[in-house]
Amino acid sequence: MQSLGVYGRPRTNAKVIEAWQRGVSARNHKHTLTSITLPDGRSELYSYDLKIGERSAGGVMIIADFTAPAKAFRSMTTSCHVNLAKYKTGNPIIMHPKVWDASKFNEDKPF
What's the domain count of the chain? 1
Range of the domain at 79: 13-102
Question: From the CB of residue 66, how many other CB atoms can be counted at a distance below 10 Å?
Answer: 22
Within-domain flag for 92: yes
Phi-psi region at 2: left, alpha or beta (left = phi > 0; alpha = psi -120 to 50) = beta
Each residue's pLDDT tens digit, 21-51:
999 999 999 999 999 999 998 999 999 999 9
How far from 15 is each of 22, 55, 83, 88, CA to CA, in Å? 11, 15, 14, 10
Its pTM stands at: 0.85
Within-domain flag for 50: yes
Query: Taking 50 as the threshold, does the pLDDT of residue 61 lie above it?
Result: yes
Within-domain flag for 49: yes
Query: Taking 70 as the threshold, does the pLDDT of residue 109 lie above it?
Result: no
